[in-house]
Chains A and B, each alone.
Chain A
């Protein structure tokens, strides 16, 4: 008698625990953290592997993921476009360099200052976006990016577009980390991963909040949005400010990990188009998809196709072909693969069940 009572009790407790676990499992924040842990593990492994630059490639993938998260907010959620994303990464890396060297800022205060300055840049582009849409906005932002890059190559303060070392980064006056040492490099990589998780969570919070709904309402149905009291100007400006701040955040991560400004060419139109391709191939309106897209476009050529002799210098070709294929055949992006696999699984399950039923009959 007592034994059965005990059994039922444990059963109820177990079901409760399972219920809580399934709830946690379905929380997106948990997914982000799991991906982060996976990335930390990967970083540790490839850093000690035969080719140390692997960690650099991985860091680059993560940095572009952050920039893509910002562009996704514009392209996927707000129906806006920007072709100057990469330029703002460059603005931040160069800005940090100048602030540290000429104004003797600490790294943290320089990074925060650049974040605020980028927000102002975002505001300017946002004002542009109030005047024009679609292809015209794309052209306008393209020229903003172009002007910035020209400025980098022309001005001596930006080292005429050459990449220079910002110098080893120290946080809060504590230990100094130098990218030249592998042990330090792993620590810096881990910092980048943690920042990426934060970027994921921030994106998710924005997208799932009333602000995110408002952005989607404006892009999908302007009239309905206005009739429901959503102020278009406010949210468009907000979208651009946040997207530019994400790009700036990517720049900060670049300064943390690589500790260089990067050449002006690196932040040109090519890079902006690559970020655009990451968003499209990763899947618009997908958060983890940005990492997937970044890995496909930057990671795969760097890791796997590097050794192939005839492939050298054809990264763009791969990106272009992939872009066309995805847009035509897989418009929801690579992040949608998860759903398709799930769908296939359930279909198979149902089919097997039906077969079994038939057999029993």
Chain B
């Protein structure tokens, strides 16, 4: 496999007041790989994700994204709403769905970047808008089929089981046609069977759709079984970046998780 990077994080630092959330962190994600970012609670993993997707833009260092045309894009120059146009999509640690919209509408929110019609066309329900909605609807149903929840498409998101909510979030990210998919704890709160299903889905995304995946996860068996590379951080500092087998035995990682031998 060629190892051209899709995302390079260079000397990323971010502090909130006196707290250093991320401290001089550098690693890169190669195209077509599944890369996991691990670390104990409060290590700054989600902060890294928020920097990549520009929810935080006052960081130091650079985040370089290699887009599909081979250009190097400094993500800092893009606003948070422009990130998705570069085919970077993300999910959230705490599910961020719209409870009073149906599942299909929740997924269609992810398709917002494709919408070319203006509010005037929406008010009169122009044929162009209806046609566009039909196309997006078809796409959304395809993705829900892929995730095996299309039978629920008209149900409201409110009150559905956690496993399904996680899938809807994934579907909403997938409809943006991502090259780089950022998953924040996709397996948190899932039972064994659901976790198994999720890891199959993620593997299929990698092999069938050639999506590069960067994920945070605490479930170590999940991480170790599926990722190509693992980046370990602790207190915002870089610990190690290597293949999962090596990371498992890495002394610094073991120390971060288990504490130091006295």
Contact = CB atoms under 8 A, between A and B. Distances in A.
A206 B110 CA distance: 18
A210 B92 contact: no
A307 to B, nearest CB: 41
Contacts of B84: 227-229
A273 interface: no
Given A205-B123, A227-B53, A213 B85 contact: no
Nearest to A230: B112
B109 A224 contact: yes
Interface string B86-111: 00011010001111110001001110
Contacts of A223: 55, 92, 96
A159 to B, nearest CB: 35
A221 B129 contact: no
The listed residue with most A CB atoms (<10 A of its CB), out of B82, B85, B123, B172, is B123
Contacts of B80: 226-227
A226 B113 CA distance: 11
Contacts of A202: 123
Contact of A217 (B98, B129, B133, B176): B98
Looking at A211, A221, A224, the one whose CB has the most chain B CB atoms below 10 A away is: A224
Nearest to A210: B115
Nearest to A233: B81
Given A220-B99, A223-B92, A223-B96, A206 B119 contact: yes
A87 B100 CA distance: 31
Contacts of B124: 205
Contacts of B81: 226, 229-232
Interface string A81-104: 000000000000000000000000
Main secondary structure of the interface of A (DSSP, over half): helix
Nearest to A225: B109
Contacts of A238: 119
A211 B119 contact: yes
A250 interface: no
B176 A228 contact: yes
A214 interface: yes
Interface in B173-203: 176
Given A206-B123, A210-B112, A227 B90 contact: yes
A230 B176 CA distance: 13
A285 interface: yes
A237 B89 CA distance: 26
A179 to B, nearest CB: 30
Nearest to B172: A228
Interface of A: 202, 205-206, 209-214, 216-217, 220-221, 223-232, 238, 242, 285
5 contacts: A202-B123, A209-B129, A213-B105, A227-B83, A231-B81
Given A209-B123, A228-B84, A231-B81, 19 more contacts: A205-B124, A205-B125, A209-B119, A210-B122, A210-B133, A213-B101, A216-B98, A216-B101, A220-B99, A220-B101, A221-B96, A221-B97, A224-B96, A224-B172, A226-B81, A227-B84, A229-B176, A230-B81, A230-B109
Task: Give the 5 A-B CB pairs with smallest separation, nearest first.
Answer: A209-B122, A224-B96, A229-B84, A221-B96, A220-B98
